[in-house]
Amino acid sequence: MPVPHASDSATSLAGRPVLAVFAHPDDESLACGGTLARLSDLGARVILLCATRGERGGATGPIKDEGLGVVRVGELTEAAALLGIRDIILMDHPDGELRWEDVPLLHAEIVAAVRRYAPACVITFGADGLYWHVDHIGVHERTTTALRSLGQAAPPLYYVTMPRGMMRPIWEAAIARGWAAPPKGFWSLVPDAFGLNAEPPTVVVDVAPWVARKVAAIRCHRTQMGTGHPFDQLSPAEAERWLGIEHFHRAPNDPSPLQPLEDLGAASVRPTRDQALPTTEDAVPLARASGVVATPGTRD
C-alpha cells in the first residue's frame, strides 16, 4: 500500500502550537528540521522541549562536561532561529540516562507542556530512536506515556522515522570525496543503523524547499558535526534528493480525529538546485532578531 503524501490543506495550523519533544540539542535539526521549518512558515508556533543540554556528547566519549552543555545550548539557539522555532523549553535531565533517571518528572513535564500549549500535534522519536540511541528511546517512552495519560484529550502524536538505507548514499558520497569516518561520535555510526527495524512511515512530508534551512541548522551543531562532515559536503541538488522527504509514523491507537501532518501541504515554490545553502554565520543575527526564547525547565 503506498504511503500517502500530505495534501496542501494545512492552513488550519496557522497560529496553532506544535510541540516537538527531543532529547538533545541537534535532534530537532537532524530528525525533522525541514518539517519544523515548514510548519513555522505556515504560521504554526513551533515549540521545542529539549530534555537535556547534551553535556555528555563530546567527541572523546560520554564524559560529563558542563561547559559542553552550555556551548550546545548556544548551538541549539542558533539552529532554532534558522528553523523558525518560537520557544525552547530547556530541561536539565542527565544526558545519557533518560530511560532511567527522573522518569516521573520528565513524564510530568511533558504533560504540563501539552496542557499549557494545547498543541495541534506532538512530534517525537519512534521506538527505535532513529538509530537505537538510548536517550532517544527514553524520550519516545516518556512522550508516549504522557500523551496516553491524557486519554481522549491527547493531541495527535507522530514519531519521526527513517527508511533503512536512507543515510547510506550520504555516507558513500562523502567517502567518494575523500572523507573518512571518525572512530567516535555521531559520524562513527554505521549508516544502516538508521531506520533499522523501524516502523514504516504512515505520513511523508515534502520538505525540499526547506532543506537548505535544515542543513544550515545541522551545521550550527558544530560540537556534534565537526567540519567537513557528510552533510557539510552535500550540494543543493544532493541535499534535496536525499533529505527532501521526512518520514513519520502516526502513533497507534491515537484517539484524535485530527490529521495535521497528513494535511500538511506539499505545494511550494522550490529553490533552484544551484541555490547556495545558508551558512552557520547567518544563524547568529537570526537568533538575535527572531525572538527565540530558551525557557529553562524547573524541578519544582
The C-alpha cell that represents 123 in the structure block: 512530534
Please give the Cα distance from 157 to 129 (Å, whole number). 15
Rounded to two decimals, the pTM is 0.85
Q: For the chain, what is the mean pLDDT?
A: 84
The C-alpha cell that represents 239 in the structure block: 541535499
* Strand 293-296 with 17-22, pairing: unpaired
Please state the rounded mean pLDDT for residues 58-70.
77
Residue 296 is predicted with a pLDDT of 42
Provide CB contacts within 8 A for 150, sequence distance 6+. 111, 114
AA identity, residue 76: L
Of 141-145, 202-206, 212-216, 223-227, the range with the lowest mean pLDDT is 223-227
Q: In this predicted model, which residue has the larger pLDDT, 281 or 46? A: 46
Q: Was domain 11-286 assigned CATH 1.20.1730.10?
A: no
Residue 287: pLDDT band with limits 50, 70, 90: very low
Residue 297 is predicted with a pLDDT of 46
Provide CB contacts within 8 A for 158, sequence distance 6+. 121, 122, 123, 124, 203, 248, 249, 250, 251, 261
pLDDT in tens, 8-32: 445 578 899 999 999 999 999 999 9
Strand partners, 246: 205
For residue 171, what is the enclosing H or E element?
A: helix 168-176
Three-class SS state of 62:
coil
Residue 185: pLDDT band with limits 50, 70, 90: confident
Provide CB contacts within 8 A for 232, sequence distance 6+. 219, 225
Please give the Cα distance from 58 to 231 (Å, whole number). 19
Please give the Cα distance from 260 to 56 (Å, whole number). 35
What are residue 249's phi and psi, to 5 degrees? -120, 120
For the chain, the structural domain boundaries read: 11-286
AA identity, residue 247: H
Strand partners, 161: 247
Determine contact, residues 127/199, Cβ cutoff 8 Å.
yes
The C-alpha cell that represents 212 in the structure block: 537548505
Q: In this predicted model, which residue has the larger pLDDT, 87 or 195? A: 87
Please give the Cα distance from 210 to 212 (Å, whole number). 6
Q: In this predicted model, which residue has the larger pLDDT, 100 or 5? A: 100
Residue 223 has pLDDT above 70, yes or no: yes
